[in-house]
Amino acid sequence: MVEFHPIQLSDRTWIGELFHLSQYRGSEYCFSNSYNWRKAYQIECTRLGNRALIRSDGGHGRNYLYPAGDGDLKEAILAMKADADKDGLPFRLNGVTDEMRDCLEENFPGAFEFSERRDQFDYIYSVDKLSSLSGKKLHGKRNHINRFLETYDWRFEPLTLDNLPYAFEMNQQWKQIIAQEGEDNQSLDQEGEAVKSAFDHFTDLGLKGGLLIADGRPVAYTMGSPLTEDTFIVHIEKAFWDVPGAYPMINQQFVRYACEGFTYVNREDDTGDEGLRKAKQSYYPDILLRKFHAVWRG
């Protein structure tokens, strides 16, 4: 029987190695995501041979992540199922892509019931698209940026330990504004906890970030990290809505700074939020990475 433990910074090396072996583009396969959301989702992990076993217990009950690595898949799946059985819980896998679904069907024919999870689909764009914003479809984005350039005395700064406090202060101001607008307090607090973890462990997690200054004050910031050999992932992006063009500007400037050598940018899912979905669709993703929920039915 495998023994899980709460995910720790010391797990980064071995989990990162197994994630790298798999080259999965899903946003779940980034150590910094698992670590930063560890408290909200009670994320725990263990290693079985050359597979990373990860489970969560937050909000929606017990869920497991399809095991990354190149070890024995059947052994890993059955070990996670035994862990769920031990606690009298259904065995469920979250964030299952088409590729993973095919592997599960091949190794466990008919054992899983799959249901599509649209809210968890990842929006993946080409670096060239987000950097250049060329073409008729993105004409509106270019207009927003041009208006920003004409209106503000601006600069973009890579996040460092020197300017990190200014980005965090801007984040706290953003959070207050959103709270006043009636955002769900629990989800806002959970996100706030994850964001604070990213700031507290910026260097330890190997994060990159950017800060946008307009007329002398921070108006947007963002953070991300490498996901696969060809894909970079953006974890956090915040901007003040009363600064027109701040969102598309920080998006473009950060991609130009952080994504050299990468082909794609994963901007994660929309969580089912209509406004966020519309915003992500407005950039016309090159890949909409499908996700499924897999439940063991034997």
Provide the mean pLDDT of the chain: 97
Q: For 45-72, how does the pLDDT look when each residue is reduced to its tens digit (9 = 90+)?
A: 999 999 999 999 987 799 999 999 999 9
Domains 5-120+292-296 and 122-268 share a fold: yes
Domain ranges of the chain: 5-120+292-296, 122-268
Q: Of 237, 229, 265, whose CA–CA distance to 126 is shortest?
A: 265
What pLDDT is attached to residue 58? 80
Range in 105-114, 180-189, 262-271 with the lowest mean pLDDT: 180-189
For domain 5-120+292-296, the CATH class is alpha beta
Cα–Cα distance between 146 and 140 in angstroms, integer?
10
Rounded Cα–Cα distance for residues 123 and 2 (Å): 34
What pairs with residue 226 in β-bridges?
232
Identify the pLDDT of residue 60.
Answer: 77
Single pTM value for the model? 0.96
CATH top-level class of 122-268: alpha beta
Q: What is the pLDDT of residues 213-262, one digit of tens each?
A: 999 999 999 999 999 999 999 999 999 999 999 999 999 999 999 999 99
